[in-house]
Amino acid sequence: MASTTVTGRVRATVRLKDDGAAGGAGVARVVASSWASDRAFPRTQGAAVAFELQTGDGEVFRVDPFEALVTLPVRSRALREGVRHEEGWIANEDEITVEGELERAGRARQAPALRARRIAVGGAATQHRLPPRSLRRGEFEKLEVVVAPVAVVIPVPAETPAPGADTSAPGAVAPSDAAETSAEPTAARRPKKKRPDSSGTPTPVQ
């Protein structure tokens, strides 16, 4: 297996089942941690599910997080009955960096597997650090991947005029009408009046 480092976003395909945690209730998390001031050492506990990671160029990896050193941000704090509580998590659509051993999938349709050795999420001042093999396997539920609808424009073919139909512009005279107009008898037309010749020559009588 080759060692590699991948940065990408968690795909929304699975999530940890809601364990009733106050801060992360309703959040689609794939790795979650909790800390309480009244716990004996080690105080931080974590749970995770295997998830998918998609890079910026669209490549997808299946991440196995259970042997990794995990660093994740603390996103919730509370004080209940004198006990301080903290929660941290990695949620769907979070951008993370995963270092690990890459194992190519046996089936062509499966994404390559990445056995993580280190998982890190930056951007937070306070973080939980979970040592390797400290994550328990949590129950998961599948999520339906929502694909944005694509509008399909179907071109409408131009109508073919029926034989003999008038395709001219409104108000124009159709060719058949023009032919009929030109075919009117000349008798119906008024004869032109001839002006007398200015030279004084009488006009011949017709």
Per-residue DSSP letter, 93: T
Give residue 117's region: left, alpha or beta (phi > 0; psi -120 to 50): alpha
Residue 6 in 3-state DSSP?
Answer: strand
pLDDT digits (tens, 9 = 90+) for 188-197: 566 565 555 5
pTM: 0.66
Say which residue, 109 or 110, is predicted with more confidence: 110
What share of the chain in percent tops pLDDT 70?
A: 65
Count the residues in the chain: 206
* pLDDT recorded at residue 177: 52
Q: Where are the beta strands (DSSP E) in the chain?
A: 2-10, 14-16, 29-36, 45-48, 51-55, 60-64, 69-80, 83-91, 95-103, 113-120, 127-130, 135-137, 140-142
Determine how many CB atoms are found less than 10 A away from the CB of residue 109. 5
In the predicted model, is pLDDT for residue 102 greater than 80?
Answer: yes
Kindly state the tokens that stand for 38: 């009244």
* Integer angstrom CA distances of residue 97 from 4, 18, 81, 125, 185: 11, 25, 37, 17, 95
Region 126-145: what's the mean pLDDT?
90
| Residue indicated by tokens 């051993």 | 101
